[in-house]
Homo-oligomer: A and B are copies of this chain.
Amino acid sequence: MATLQDICVSAAINLLSAFGFLLAFALLRLQPINDRVYFPKWYLKGLRESPRLSGAVVSKFVNLDFKTYINFLNWMPAALNMPEPELTDHAGLDSTVYIRIYLLGLKIFVPITLLALLVLVPVNFTGNTLDGIKDLTFSDIDKLSISNVQSGSNRFWVHLGMSYFFSFWTCYALYHEYKTIASMRLRYLASEKRRPDQFTVLVKNVPSDPDESVSEHVEHFFCVNHPDHYLMHQVVYNANSLAKLVAKKKSLQNWLVYYQTKHERNPGNRPIKKTGYCGLYGSKTDAIDYYTAEIEKLTQQEHEEREKVASDPKAIMPAAFVSFKTRWGAAVCAQTQQSSNPTIWLTEWAPQPRDVYWDNLAIPYVELSMRRLLMAICVFFLTFFFMIPIAFVQSLANIEGIEKNLPFLRPVIEKEYIKSFIQGFLPGIALKIFLIMLPTILMTMSKIEGFTSLSSLERRSAEKYHLFILVNVFLGSIITGTAFQQLHKFIHESSGQFTKTIGVSVPMKATFFITYIMVDGWAGIAAEIVRLVPLVMFHIKNTFLVKTEQDREQAMDPGSLDFATSEPRIQLYFLLGLVYSVITPVLLPFILVFFAFSYMVFRHQIINVYDQKYESAAAFWPHVHRRVIIGLVISQLLLMGLFSTLGVSKSTFVLGVQPILTIWFHIYCKGRFESAFKKFSLQDAMVKDTLERATDPNLNLRAYLKDAYVHPVFNGGDMERPVAIDEEESNPLVPTRRRNSHRSSDASSEATVLKI
């Protein structure tokens, strides 16, 4: 077990590395050449341009003004300065609410930490049980934990009371946060400008009709069943193969540009390319000619495919985006059942155009439920048995395995340093690669499940990832064993015994989790701000591909908040905090540092870097809420398990009431707030409609909606950044006053960022 000294050393190392990252960030950030890596958001908003000031060439790349280096941490107050409403204007509600998760962490844990340190630590420390035991090795940390109190002592009632208070406080904070965010969402939706998705409903599973095309069928159905409200519809084309061609063409164009640049810099010899796979073998040809010809060919193919999709009735999928004359009509259609057969004419609110996941729009009902079953089974096996294939790869990747399977490599491997490298590194790397690929695997699974918008895909993946972290990181670290062994234990032990087993080992793992928090939560977050991968990628692209300002624009990779992976990670900290709040309170300050530091870093990133792919108006909050509740219930059950071994009579009964109340609280909150995130009330719709009729009586809605839901390949062909990225910005029909205020707030944020 780690002693206090070990913890201190570890803390020092991690603080140093975090400090190192911050320093690197401070230096890199000030170089004009990196400006597009660290402030892409402002470039995308058109509020910042590449430095083209007169002066030395050097100053275009390197910052020579040494005064700016002095206060290298001054980004921190700047990040905190922007007020919340402005932040919402600037980066969208999703981002604002996302960083409120960290704020929620602070709200929950600051009072808990104070109370725990003031009350529980003295109670534990004066327990003096561990001093009496000579045989066991215990750390100084354990002296401050619940293990230091004698079994059966009345002091435990302090812990019980604190547990109730902490649960109450957590619920109270959660309730208020839910309420705030629900009203933020409603206000945001109410103040939103006109957007195509407000009038549009996605209709899936249009039944086939022998006499009518899909388009006619949709038209007739909605004319009959929504006679006063139906406006128009857009069918969905199956443009997946076309999209592939477009993507391929784009990659070839990049290569062409690369070779052209190469040729320009060295006009003497024309670049050469091998025609085989990946340019590794085959006959040599002139690269520029080769790519020009290939692109020519692809353009031809693309043209044919385009015509095919447009003319072939089979390319029309049995789904459509149906638009209504009013928001009220769309709200009605999205919330009601159209046909008595609930597997056809399924309606739901259309996602934002840029949020649509086009591949999944046409999955029949039966197939969908099969897919969900299969994926549920896959998630189960992935969570509990993922070690099996990895162990298999690891067994192949050791010295004997390689020698046996690839005997011709033997002379190389036998060398001492290579051998040690393989033995020390390869087994770990298999696991590491799996963990890096895990979010992609989970996202693929969610895609197979058939969700139709990027936002719902991310929420679904987050759910899976949360389960994985819960089982493999949290429980796995506590019970030490593979998830499969835990499962075995879970089945073969009684549920009471199981929680007892875990509950008892929780206090012993406190030091492990403290180091985990420092590595993953402190240094990891500091690494995030340096943006190493985008930095390198930008400079590579900048060197080889960029010719015009527009190219440079495209070379930027602002990235975005990755809800699917980062939210479940935050949840682990909530869980750790709640579990250890009563058991080992000294862990809490480490968690506080994590929340505070992350809040600052991500606020900075949201203001200056990230560019969200979609805006769901905080639709993810019910998930965040539910997972914190799950963490709370787990902490309560583990405490019950632990207490059942401590000889406090009646404690099981007293503690048993807690999870019931917590679950009831969750159900109550769900009924109270969730519909604000799932439905759009007719009253709100009516208010917006009335307002619009008053302000803009001559609006031609049909023209406005005409091309809103067209597959991005038909609409400029830019796959990566679909057209409708900011309808409100690009739409000339809506010259409202709000836009001006938006502009002015942008200007003030610009002022903010220039001060940095």
Q: Which residues does A use to contact B, with CB under 8 Å?
A: 186, 221, 224-226, 228, 331-332, 335-340, 342-343, 345, 365-366, 369, 373, 377, 491-498, 660, 664, 667-668, 671-676, 679-684, 686
Contact = CB atoms under 8 A, between A and B. Distances in A.
Q: How many copies does the complex hold?
A: 2
Contacts of A226: 682
Given A681-B340, A682-B226, A683-B338, A365 B672 contact: yes
Contacts of A660: 377
A374 B221 CA distance: 47
Given A337-B675, A340-B683, A342-B675, 6 more contacts: A221-B683, A226-B682, A331-B336, A336-B679, A339-B681, A493-B494
Contacts of A494: 491-495, 497-498
Nearest to A495: B491
A671 B342 contact: yes
Contact of A682 (B225, B366, B682): B225
B337 A679 contact: yes
Given A332-B332, A491-B496, A497-B492, A672 B343 contact: yes
A671 B338 contact: no
8 contacts: A224-B686, A225-B683, A332-B336, A339-B683, A340-B676, A369-B664, A492-B496, A495-B495
Contacts of A498: 494
Contacts of A492: 494, 496-497
B369 A667 contact: yes
Contacts of A682: 225-226, 336-338
A617 to B, nearest CB: 13
A221 B682 CA distance: 11
Nearest to A657: B377
Given A228-B228, A338-B682, A373 B664 contact: yes
Contacts of A684: 340
Nearest to A690: B224
Contacts of A336: 331-332, 335-336, 679, 681-682
Nearest 4 A-B pairs (CB), nearest first? A342-B675, A335-B336, A340-B681, A337-B679
Given A369-B668, A671-B369, A337 B681 contact: yes
Contacts of A673: 342
A413 B719 CA distance: 94
Nearest to A185: B340
A340 B682 CA distance: 8
Contacts of A373: 664
Contacts of A366: 668
Nearest to A340: B681
Nearest to A336: B335
A380 to B, nearest CB: 9
A671 B365 contact: yes
Contacts of A377: 660
Contacts of A345: 683
Q: Which of A343, A664, A676 has the most chain B CB atoms inside 10 A of its CB? A: A664
A381 to B, nearest CB: 12
Contacts of A225: 682-683, 686
A680 B340 CA distance: 7
A120 to B, nearest CB: 29
A619 to B, nearest CB: 15
A228 B672 CA distance: 29
